[in-house]
Amino acid sequence: MGAYNAIEKELRAGARRWVVTGAAGFIGSHLCERLLSLGQRVVGIDNFSTGQRRNIQFLTGLSTAAANFSFIEADICDYEKYGQALGGADYLLHQAALGSVSRSIDKPLDTNRANVDGFLCVIEAARKSKIQRCVFASSSSVYGDAPELPKIEARIGNALSPYAVSKRINELYAEVYGRVYGTQLIGLRYFNVFGPRQDPSGAYAAVIPRWIAALAQDQECTIYGDGETSRDFCFVENVIQANILAATTTHADAIGKHYNIACHGRTTLRQLHAEIGRAFSKLRPNFKLREVRFGDFRAGDVRHSLASIELAQRNLGYAVAVDFAAGIEQTVNWYLQNPSKA
Catalytically active residues, by annotation: 163
Q: Which helix (H) or strand (E) holds 162?
A: helix 162-181
Do residues 118 and 22 lie in contact, with contact meaning Cβ atoms separated by under 8 Å?
no
Cβ neighbours of residue 330 closer than 8 Å, sequence gap 6 or more? 195, 196, 235, 322
C-alpha distances (whole Å) from 57 to each of 21, 52, 82, 323 are: 16, 9, 20, 29
Amino acid at 236: V
Do residues 163 and 107 lie in contact, with contact meaning Cβ atoms separated by under 8 Å?
no
Rounded Cα distance between 193 and 238, Å, is: 9
Rounded Cα distance between 280 and 287, Å, is: 7
C-alpha distances (whole Å) from 204 to each of 161, 218, 309 are: 14, 21, 27
Q: Quick count: other Cβ atoms within 10 Å of Cβ 173? A: 18
Burial code of 137-162, b = ≥16 C-beta within 10 A, e = fewer?
bbbbbbbbeeeeeebebeebeebbbb
Computed from CA positions of residues 8, 266, 251, 89, in that sequence, does the dihedral angle turn out positive or negative?
negative
Regarding beta strands 41-46 and 69-73, do their DSSP bridges make them parallel or antiparallel, or are they unpaired?
Answer: parallel
Rounded Cα distance between 325 and 272, Å, is: 9
**Sheet hosting strand 17-21, strand order edge to edge:** 69-73, 41-46, 17-21, 91-94, 133-139, 185-190, 258-261
